[in-house]
Amino acid sequence: MINIDKYTEIKDNTSLLIICNKANLQVSLKFYFNEDEIAYILEANTKNNVDFLYFNKLAYYAIVAIVEEKEFSYQTNEMYRRLGGKVLRFCDKNFIKDLQITSLCDKQNILSFVEGMILDSYIFDGYKTDPKRLIHPFDNLHIISKDIDIKEINDLRTIGEATEKAKDLVNEPVTVINAESLAANFKTMGEEAGINVEIWDKAKIEKEKMGGILAVNRGSVDNPTFTIMEYKPENAKNTAPIVLVGKGITYDTGGLNIKPGDYMNDMKSDMAGAATMACALYAAALEKLPLHIIGLFPATDNRPNHNAYCSGDIINMYDGTNVEVVNTDAEGRMILADALAYAKSLKPMLVVDMATLTGAASRAIGPYGIVAMNKDAGQFMETMKLCGQEVYERIAEFPFWEEYDKLIVSDIADIKNSGEKYAGMITAGKFLAYFTAYPYIHLDVAGVAMNDRPDYYRGKGATAYGLRLIVEFLESFCK
């Protein structure tokens, strides 16, 4: 990750970025450029709509970035994040190691720029043997601002560190991150951030009769885990905990309902929900948010080996519910159901789960946001949608009408683990909601957890999409 600090004044012979918007363009430029340079910049912007210019001063670069104000502030802040990534790539291409930034723009705009630069600096290339593999020549960002304090910068770094951890976990293959090593990583994170971590092994899971986790695990040579992370500071504002639940399928073949080959290429990412939620909890603890937060993370892979569970099986779940299996590729909801049922014992104020759950979610809204539903959590849902706008990890809320309940009714058991051919993301949510008895929000990140092409500062591969949303949401309880 890049280093960030504050300068009190501009240093000579160090590359400088001036960030402007249309309203303060001329005022911003007059301190740093001569009349001819200002005329050139203004003409390029007004006549040709050029919004990124630079002057090679031989010893350093002078760079001008012009951001157009959007209708809403959250849209403008997103433009600044994207600019952060663009500037980082420019610095890398031109072997700029140090950059100063100054601006007359709003403080939140500049923080968004810095955030984008931090997020875009992530690289996962440890398996490349070429010594010339991609690295960032750029190292140091120096902020010249009286309004921004060190804590705000450190909070951005914390989010960046948590995001990198989540991305690393998701990008690693299952040969490195199986259920046990995922839990071990959560344990290490807990030790770093002051979070109590309890890991249930297979024997404990069997003793607790978590039938969903055990069923999905039957085809695997690796043992399942159930990780409980608890952060409870003495000054916690909430008397009942906020519970974060994440799907930890470390690799999903589809089981006996095996996926076509191309659909398995990114299935190491099927534990993105667990990785993202655990790392959001990690960030909240490092920021010392005054909240009691518990994380629940069931984990296993889903393979068609040994005595793998199959369609027609009746699975007795943690809470005693009998589930008819009609599709072994609907495995994520099986392990999440046990965790959600366990959450009842915690008497939570709210439970939020995150999962790469359904292809239907991706088909519904594409790679542009999270599909969400809520049960008895309407006010929390509205806050979460606003938080999603602020960090540009947006939420599309889908209906949760009672008619959808009928689609998961089983003829021979209490419910079945997959609904009809339509509204798959909603029936999956209905299956999960069956195991809840508290305010509940379901987040399906199937369309955004992994990118098959670069996407601004989110990059290619694992995105940790939803992590900044959850941290922003948790911070909203502290304001």
CATH number at residue 464: 3.40.630.10
Confidence at 133, pLDDT banded by 50, 70, 90: low
Indicate if 143 and 173 belong to the same structural domain: no
Does any domain span residue 181? yes
Indicate if 203 and 92 belong to the same structural domain: no
User: Tell me, what's the pLDDT at 26?
Assistant: 84
Indicate if 131 and 21 belong to the same structural domain: yes
Neighbours of 1 (CB within 10 A): 14
**Last residue in a domain, options 81, 116, 147:** 147
Q: How many domains does the chain have?
A: 2
Strands 140-144 and 196-200: unpaired
Q: Is the pLDDT of residue 270 over 90?
A: yes
Indicate if 397 and 464 belong to the same structural domain: yes
* pLDDT 10s digits, 323-359: 999 999 999 999 999 999 999 999 999 999 999 999 9
Indicate if 400 and 275 belong to the same structural domain: yes
Domain span at residue 274 reads 158-476
Q: Phi and psi for 294 in degrees, rounded to 5?
A: -125, 135
- Across the range 118-133, mean pLDDT stands at 85
Is the pTM higher than 0.75? The answer reads yes
Does any domain span residue 410? yes
Indicate if 65 and 204 belong to the same structural domain: no
User: Tell me, what's the pLDDT at 197?
Assistant: 98
Mean pLDDT of the chain: 95
| Tokens standing for residue 145 | 């601002």
End-to-end CA distance of the chain: 29
Q: Is the pLDDT of residue 134 over 70?
A: no
* pLDDT 10s digits, 185-196: 999 999 999 999
Indicate if 107 and 201 belong to the same structural domain: no
Does any domain span residue 372? yes
Strands 370-375 and 450-451: unpaired
Residues classed as catalytic: 259, 333
- Are 289 and 475 in contact, with CB atoms under 8 Å apart? yes
Indicate if 133 and 174 belong to the same structural domain: no
As a whole-number percent, the residues of the chain with pLDDT over 70 amount to 99
Does any domain span residue 11? yes
Per DSSP, the three-state class of 222 is coil
Does any domain span residue 153? no
90-94 long-range contacts, CB within 8 A, separation 24+: 90/52, 90/54, 90/63, 91/15, 91/137, 91/138, 92/136, 92/137, 92/138, 94/61
